[in-house]
């Protein structure tokens, strides 16, 4: 029973987050007379917007952006590999990604940076060879 309640609450929370994201877009458009009705119909930040912002700032060799909000543009997961991360600590790398997304953050509910690696760190590590004498 607890599992069913937990799943139901998760779904409800997701619907609320998406609804709030759309409400924010509509409220912003209401006060923005220059864009008129077109802005009111906008769906907020898209996956492509996030990809473009990160790509422009970090010139990644690998970039994966996943919309985890069910399509409403309120929540994203990011995996990025960039030469610009060389010599940077993980916190600094995350700050670089967040800085790239700063123009869009008012419309994004959550960003999860799953990987922020240098190209060397992204290379697959070789499997250790087992010693034949131990076998």
pLDDT in tens, the chain (135 residues): 666 666 566 676 665 666 656 555 556 655 554 554 344 345 588 999 999 999 999 999 999 999 999 877 789 999 999 999 999 999 999 999 999 999 999 999 999 999 999 999 999 888 777 666 565
Among candidate residues 75, 119, 69, 78, the one with its CA nearest the CA of residue 100: 78
Residue 128 lies in a domain: no
Q: How many structural domains comprise the chain? A: 1
Q: Domain with 102 in it: what CATH number? A: 3.30.300.90
Question: For residue 71, which of 14, 23, 114 has the smallest C-alpha distance?
Answer: 14
135 domain-assigned: no
Question: At 47, which helix (H) or strand (E)?
Answer: helix 47-58
**Domain carrying residue 107:** 2-122
Report if residue 127 sits inside a domain.
Answer: no
Is residue 130 in a domain? no
Residue 134 within any structural domain of the chain: no
Residue linked to tokens 């869009």: 104
Classify burial at 85, counting beta carbons within 10 Å of its beta carbon; exposed 0-12, middle 13-18, buried 19 or more: buried
**Secondary structure class of 73 (helix, strand, coil):** coil
Report yes or no on 131 lying in a domain: no
């Amino acid at each position: 029973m607890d599992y069913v309640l937990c799943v139901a609450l998760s779904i409800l929370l997701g619907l609320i987050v998406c609804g709030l994201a759309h409400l924010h877009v509509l409220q912003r458009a209401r006060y923005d007379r220059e864009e008129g009705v077109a802005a009111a119909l906008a769906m907020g930040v898209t996956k492509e917007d996030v990809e473009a912002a990160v790509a422009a700032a970090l010139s990644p060799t690998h970039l994966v952006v996943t919309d985890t909000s069910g399509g409403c543009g309120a929540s994203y997961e990011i995996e990025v590999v960039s030469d610009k991360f060389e010599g940077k600590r993980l916190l600094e790398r995350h700050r670089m990604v967040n800085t790239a997304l700063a123009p869009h953050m008012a419309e994004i509910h959550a960003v999860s940076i799953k990987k922020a690696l240098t190209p060397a760190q992204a290379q697959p590590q070789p499997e250790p060879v087992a010693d034949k004498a131990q076998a």
